[in-house]
Structure 1
Amino acid sequence: MENVDAREFQMLEQYLEQFTQQVEAYSRQLEMLENRRVETATAVETLKTLAGQEGPTVLLQIGGGASLRVHVPDTDTVLLNIGADVVVERTNAETVDYLEERITEMEALAKKIAESIEQVQKQARDVAKRMESAYSQAQARMAPGMQG
């Protein structure tokens, strides 16, 4: 009987470790998604600010922490990567609409991921309670005279 309890306890420990890893993975996904959402929202605000301006000057990041001041001759034409390295030309307003839809999708996905985190955390709490109960029962069996 004690061997079964030890195996069950070990199995519960493994479940708890798996749940911890799942929460960490979901949390990383949520963080990446939030970074993309913020980046996309920044792009929307930039496009809205540039709309209708004549030849504004913007900073173009070229990598390595270096940027160039560049003049934008046409603030109404935007090249938009729609996925799988497919780039299309859209108007400023069309691009803003597209990006705002993406933000809505990212927010919905973030909500689903947060719900998944909550479910896994609940499962982890349930397993931890079972482990605590199994540990208490094992201690009680080992020292029956000490209960009062």
Structure 2
Amino acid sequence: MVSNLEKVDPREVQMLQQYLNEFGQEIEAYSAQLQMIEQRRLESLTAVDTINTIKENPENPVLLQLGGGASIKVKPVENDKVLLNIGSDIVVKHTCDYSASYLNDRAKEMEALEKKITESISQMQKKANDIAKKLDAAYKQMKA
């Protein structure tokens, strides 16, 4: 991009700066998406642990989150069935084993998606670093 060592076109510098800003915004968006997916993956794995604990100790109380940081201890009415949201606000009743398996599979899918997003972020960061180097060289050339 900055190819002519004798003259630096200010429009080219402006364009490089714009590219750098766009990459920064994209990296930010992907990072936010990555955090959201990681949180959902951890929630799925926590649900699997809870389902397995209820299955192993059906008489033990569990914490029910009420919201706003409030919880109560409750004993499950049906400890062999789980209401499972399968998407689009569709909830179905399944066995503990099926629900745990479904949630584990979903966590694996999210982990694979996290890897893809992480790779995309790395590629964008590399491109942003390349642009930053070119931009730095252009600024140095303009000062000289």
Do the structures match in fold with TM over 0.5? yes
SS of structure 1 residue aligned to 2:77: coil
Gapped runs of 5+ residues in structure 1? 141-148
More RCO (CA 8 Å, sep 6+): 2
Distance in 2, matches of 1:68 and 1:116, equals: 42
Shift of residue 4 of structure 1?
6.6
Distance 2:78 2:60 in 1: 9
RMSD: 1.9
The CA distance in 2 between the partners of 1:116 and 1:14, in whole Å, is: 20
Taking the aligned partners of 1:132 and 1:58, their CA distance within structure 2 comes to: 58
Is structure 2 residue 107 aligned with structure 1 residue 103? yes
Match of 2:120 among 108, 116, 120: 116
Residue range with higher mean Cα deviation, 34-43 or 92-101? 34-43
Q: Which residue of 2 aligns with 1:38?
A: 42
Q: Which runs of 4+ in 1 moved over 6 A?
A: 1-4
1:72 partnered with 2:56: no
Separation of aligned partners in 1, 2:97 and 2:107? 15
Sequence identity (%): 54
CA distance in 2, matches of 1:14, 1:52: 57
3-state SS, counterpart of residue 90 of structure 1: strand
Match of 2:133 among 121, 126, 129: 129
Contact between 1:62 and 1:68, CA under 8 Å: does it hold in 2?
yes
- Cα contact 1:55–1:73 (8 A) shared by 2: no
Q: Are 1:92 and 2:132 counterparts?
A: no
SS of 2:109's equivalent in the other structure is: helix
2:31 aligns with: 27
Name the CA distance, whole Å, in 2 between partners of 1:101 and 1:12: 43
With normalisation by structure 2, the TM-score equals 0.89
Determine the C-alpha separation between the residues in 2 that align with 1:62 and 1:44: 20
Larger-gyration structure (1/2) = 1
SS in 2 for 1:56: coil
**Counterpart AA for 2:26:** Q
Query: Are the aligned partners of 1:55 and 1:74 in contact in 2 as well (CA < 8 Å)?
Result: no
User: How many matched pairs?
Assistant: 140
